[in-house]
Amino acid sequence: MSPRLGGLLATALLTLLLAACATASGGSGLTVFAAASLGPLMDELESAWLAEHPDLPLTVSTGASSLLAAQISEGAEPDVFMSADTLRPDELSAAGLTAAEPRPLAHNRVVLVAPAADARVTAPADLASPGTSIIGTVSASPIAAYATSTIRALAATMPDPAAFAAAVEANIVSHEDNVRTTLAKVELGEGDAGFVYHTDALASTAVRTVPLPAGVGAIADYGVVQVNDRAEAAAFVEWLAAPAAAAILERAGFEVDA
């Protein structure tokens, strides 16, 4: 075989391999983009889903809902997108990138956590103390928006709201990738406090919740939307509203509308 022919064959073979890898992932099963805070639940949800649909395993990709939505905007086509807000699914739907209307999924609450082994932050007012390190999340993420509104609501309960808000803002030392990374940093003791979801705090043994005044913690409305136009994708979205899925969500600390 001449070197030239050999080279052509090798190129063709490699290209075929690459194409095969690309299509194999979309073959059977469902691709799900899930908000980072849903990550810990996906195994349980998949087991329950497989009990009714054993031929549709889930391939899950988690991350900040803003990152996942940006990927969908740039051409990613998962079957289903589960977001930690309703803003992202609505935006995608308005842009014509979804196969159906977004639907509500569940509700989560934003809480303030501190390392279990550390006693620096015991009350919300400590957030404004000089030297307190607050771990934040990248500003585009849903948790960052919820944290901002929580801080604003908290400031309203303080004697000098503007000064409090400014002091807390100045104490934010990091913008982590997503809420799970923020939780990890607080668990490690690398920060004095951080805003995460109630479900994250519930599942963690290395953080303690710092009580917030009633009504201050923001409520997160999670939304789910079918992105790919497949019957299986629609079935999964339907199933998420069923009792089996609701039970799993509620056990983790989510609130599901009846």
Looking at beta carbons only, is 131 or 159 nearer to other proteins? 131
Cβ contact 247:112 at 8 Å: no
Give the H/E segment covering residue 195. Answer: strand 193-197
Q: What's the one-letter identity of residue 236?
A: F
Q: Compute the least distance from the CB of residue 119 to other proteins, in Å.
A: 14
Q: Compute the least distance from the CB of residue 52 to other proteins, in Å.
A: 34
Give the H/E segment covering residue 104. Answer: strand 103-115
Q: Compute the least distance from the CB of residue 143 to other proteins, in Å.
A: 12
* Short-list 92, 200, 69, 72, CA closest to 141: 69
- Tokens representing residue 63 in the block: 């991350």
Looking at beta carbons only, is 124 or 191 nearer to other proteins? 191
Tell me which residue has tokens 């550390």: 118
* Short-list 134, 116, 123, CA closest to 194: 134
Q: Compute the least distance from the CB of residue 69 to other proteins, in Å.
A: 8
Looking at beta carbons only, is 82 or 252 nearer to other proteins? 82
Q: Compute the least distance from the CB of residue 91 to other proteins, in Å.
A: 12
- The residues binding other proteins (CB under 8 A) are 4, 7-8, 10-11, 14, 64, 66-67, 69-70, 133, 138-141, 172-177, 188-190
Looking at beta carbons only, is 122 or 139 nearer to other proteins? 139
* Short-list 220, 211, 219, 218, CA closest to 149: 218
* Short-list 165, 140, 150, 145, CA closest to 63: 140
Q: Compute the least distance from the CB of residue 101 to other proteins, in Å.
A: 24
Give the H/E segment covering residue 173. Answer: strand 172-176
Looking at beta carbons only, is 133 or 228 nearer to other proteins? 133
Q: Coil, strand, or helix at residue 97?
A: coil
Looking at beta carbons only, is 177 or 255 nearer to other proteins? 177
